[in-house]
Structure 1
Amino acid sequence: MIKKVLPFLIIAVLIVSCKSNKETTATNGDNSKTSLDWNGTYVGTTPCADCEGIKTVITLNTDLTFTKKTQYLGKSTEVYTENGSFSWNKAGSTVTLKADGASYNYLVGEHTLTHLDLSGKKITGDLADNYILKQQGTDTLKDMPWKLVELRGKAIENASKQPYLILAAEDNRVSGNTSCNGFGGEYELLEGNRIKFSKMMHTMMACPNMSIENEFMQVLEVADNYTVVNGVLNLNKGRMATMAKFEVDYFVN
């Protein structure tokens, strides 16, 4: 009798176990909140009704606070900053950012934040992809807009235009602005944090103050190593004092 009943008992136990596992998965299953490295900075340009686009930079912190910076391209150079806190929905898939009475909903994906409409749904149509902000990578050097803040120990002041550089990851091209002219060329990263710039070219527009441009280009010609410490990029030559310091600024152009 026991031998006949035993198989049914085993089946019953397995059914209960499977049901329990499904309930546990439904309650504590993987979602964006639990399975993604969502904290970080997201950047994109969303559509704008009366401007060229809204450049948006959102930083989500692990303490559930955020910073949102926006700039209305072609309309104003001013950068608007909002700070506040955010919360997750029950499904752990979207976040709601709240600051100064305003709220914004975003779908959290793999290295993306997708701006949702007022009802919390995805925006559809031809411009749908333009509502997606992309998370900045773990590479703290490449594809970052590095703003020049110090040159040969002196703070950058009275520049005609903000000098900066970007080291593209895809084709090892360097580009930027000298404070007057745009420039471009190639760069190579070598072992031991060594760097080499080559084939540098720039436009030939004249500006009232050319000293920053001249020194900046000289630094790029002779720099042979770099460091990135606490979000600051330093270009150096040998063991001499740092020649140029840069900080990330997503709004340089």
Structure 2
Amino acid sequence: METKKLLKAAAGAMIVAFAISACQTKKTATGQNADPAHNSMNSVDWAGTYQGTLPCADCPGIRYTITLKDDDTYVLKTRYLEKGDSVFTESGTFAWDENGGKITLADRGEKFQVGENKLFHLDMEGNRITGSLAEHYVLTKMTDQITDRYWKLIEVGGQAVADGSTQKEPYIQLNSEGNRVEATGGCNGMGGTYELKEPNRISFSQLIGTLMACENMEVENGLKRALESADSYHVQGDTLQLFRARMAPLAKFVAKGK
């Protein structure tokens, strides 16, 4: 009898231990006990631009381009396919949830789960969308990004641009907010607007600049001609090239921190 009692007690203890272990596993899986030091907010390189086409009730889709910045602000551009070329631009702030895995766009109330190089558009309750359309609610990070980067000029008109050969470092930067371009060819500052279209089409307009005279104006004049003539581009990693009618590159740039 004593042996039976001991066996029953041992069995009971094992059941309790198993239940506790299962409960802890479930909590971890659902994020209730997630390690706050290793969530998306702290462990994922989430800042950048994401793009995708979300389902639309009365059109083929809504083209989403959203840029998340390190200061918890965003710029969102949306375009309704087959309803003209109008692009609607909004900006604002976003907030992380307490687990550091999801964000909510202020004012819009839209929620996204932040993954490695992906944003998952969530329903209004903050849940992942499932079913046959699930894959259409995913935005992918643009690793070959052309906007909001500082592009140092290294070649124009087929001629290399040596460091220190101009008074200032020649560069261009395409700012996503307002589609404004800022640049210098090494002497004068230039500004204007740009437009991007798929696939890899680009155009610059309303280019104006200061009128100072410097040495080696060939670089600046060449960059201005390149911007005025360019109709396409190719970007791969940290290298950008501007083209006209798929001929030899008008100008080459490398990405650099400002």
Question: TM class by shorter-chain length?
Answer: 0.5 to 0.7
Cα separation, partners in 2 of 1:91 and 1:134, compared to 1, 3 Å: same
Q: Matches of 1:122 and 1:26 in 2, distance apart?
A: 18
Give the drift of 1:81.
Answer: 1.0
1:164 aligns with 2:190: no
Query: Which runs of structure 2 are paired with 1:134-145 in the superposition (5 Å)?
Result: 134-137=140-143, 145=200
Give the drift of 1:120.
Answer: 0.8
| Greater than 2 Å deviation, 4+ residue runs | 25-29, 138-141, 143-146, 150-156, 162-169, 220-225, 228-231
| Percent identity over paired residues | 36
Give the drift of 1:83.
Answer: 0.8
Give the drift of 1:230.
Answer: 7.1
Say whether the 8 Å CA contact 2:51–2:142 is kept in structure 1: yes
1:152 aligns with 2:225: yes
Q: Matches of 1:229 and 1:45 in 2, distance apart?
A: 27
Give unmatched runs, 5+ long, in structure 2: 1-27, 152-197, 206-223
Q: Matches of 1:63 and 1:167 in 2, distance apart?
A: 26
Cα separation, partners in 2 of 1:89 and 1:144, compared to 1, 3 Å: farther
TM-score (norm 2): 0.52
Counterpart position of 1:74:
82
Counterpart position of 1:46:
54
Query: Which runs of structure 2 are paired with 1:28-39 in the superposition (5 Å)?
Result: 28-39=36-47
Cα RMSD of the aligned pairs, angstroms, is 3.6
Cα separation, partners in 2 of 1:166 and 1:127, compared to 1, 3 Å: farther
Query: Which runs of structure 2 are paired with 1:97-246 in the superposition (5 Å)?
Result: 97-99=105-107, 102-137=108-143, 145=200, 147-149=202-204, 152=225, 155=228, 163-166=231-234, 216-217=244-245, 220-223=246-249, 226-228=252-254
Counterpart position of 2:91:
83
Cα separation, partners in 2 of 1:153 and 1:53, compared to 1, 3 Å: same
The count of residues paired between Structure 1 and Structure 2 equals 157
What SS does structure 2 have at the residue aligned with 1:152? helix
Give unmatched runs, 5+ long, in structure 1: 1-21, 157-161, 170-192, 198-215, 232-253
Give the drift of 1:164.
Answer: 3.1
